[in-house]
Amino acid sequence: MRVLVACEFSGAVRDAFAALGHDAMSCDLLPAEAPGPHYQGDVRDVLSGGWDLMIAHPPCTYLASSGLHWNKRRPERALLTEEALEFVQLLFDAPIARIALENPIGCISSRIRKPDQIIHPWQFGHDASKATCLWLKNLPALKPTDVLPGGREARRANQTASGQNRLPPSKDRWKLRSLTYPGIAKAMADQWGGDPQGVGF
């Protein structure tokens, strides 16, 4: 399969598909942090490249619920939210048969459509909590592969006692929080990287 991983600089999802023999390429405005096929530039340039599957990670800065409260006080930020939503819709409308788009809980759900599922890293073997919404086109819901004890009620290693993320403020905080956990990347490749005529789709 030809797989495009949009808005990914880490190479995590790209490499999970490549490990199974797929022709996978990541794309981001930033350079790739791991060697491998990567287009540094606007994903619009490559959307019509004959892809069989796209996994998209659009920037969540102006989409996530955690920051939307600023929009009423800062009209310029509200405009950036509208632009971000237009970009999400463009990805949904890409000429690609199978699409998965991920983002935190935010305004995509109320402005475009509700997600098909919400997953957490602790469902895929990582002691971490991070609600991640998945919007799916011609793909099945992602099945948990390694559910850790405690479920939703447990405090995870990446959380404070009150449930906040432990990462301190820094210029790289957004990059660290945006990384896809390896267990989730592997599940995507294993479950969505099968024969298009077969059971995986």
For 61-75, the pLDDT digits (tens) are: 768 877 666 666 777
| Cβ-contact 119, 179 below 8 angstroms | no
Q: Which CATH number is 2-192's, of 3.30.2020.30, 2.60.120.10, 3.40.50.300, 3.40.50.150?
A: 3.40.50.150
pLDDT tens by residue, 162-186: 555 655 555 564 444 568 999 999 9
146 DSSP assignment = B
Q: Which two tokens stand for residue 174?
A: 């957004």
| Cβ-contact 30, 41 below 8 angstroms | no
- Confidence (pTM): 0.86
Q: Which two tokens stand for residue 95?
A: 């000429």
Radius of gyration from C-alpha coordinates of the chain: 17
CA distances from 26 to 38, 57, 111 (A): 5, 11, 27
Domain ranges of the chain: 2-192
